[in-house]
Amino acid sequence: MPQFQTWEEFSRAAEKLYLADPMKVRVVLKYRHVDGNLCIKVTDDLVCLVYRTDQAQDVKKIEKFHSQLMRLMVAKESRTVSMETE
């Protein structure tokens, strides 16, 4: 289970994983108040990508990425255009 150190690497890998097979991908967000850590995990049962952070800037990026991913998942038409994350 690769744990990414930078947000850019993780977001690119998660986007590729989602676009490869959207019907199998799951996203899990977990916050641990004791540690102040937020963890996002994207998996398709074969590949599991993990990113952990305790930085406020990264939390905003995760929130934006998660909402874009959810929008793609519930869209009626199939989208082949890659997501734009900043």
User: For residue 85, which of 25, 8, 16 has the smallest C-alpha distance?
Assistant: 8
Average pLDDT over residues 73-78: 73
Alpha carbon distance 24, 20 (integer Å): 9
What pTM, to 2 d.p., does this model score? 0.78
pLDDT surpassing 80 at residue 79: no
The whole-number pLDDT of residue 84 equals: 55
The whole-number pLDDT of residue 75 equals: 80
Alpha carbon distance 17, 43 (integer Å): 8
Residue-range domains of the chain with CATH: 7-71 (3.30.720.10)
CA neighbours within 13 Å on the CB side: how many for 23? 1
The pLDDT tens digits for 6-65 are 999 999 999 999 999 888 999 999 999 999 899 999 999 999 999 999 888 888 898 899
The whole-number pLDDT of residue 85 equals: 47
H/E stretch holding 48 reads strand 48-53
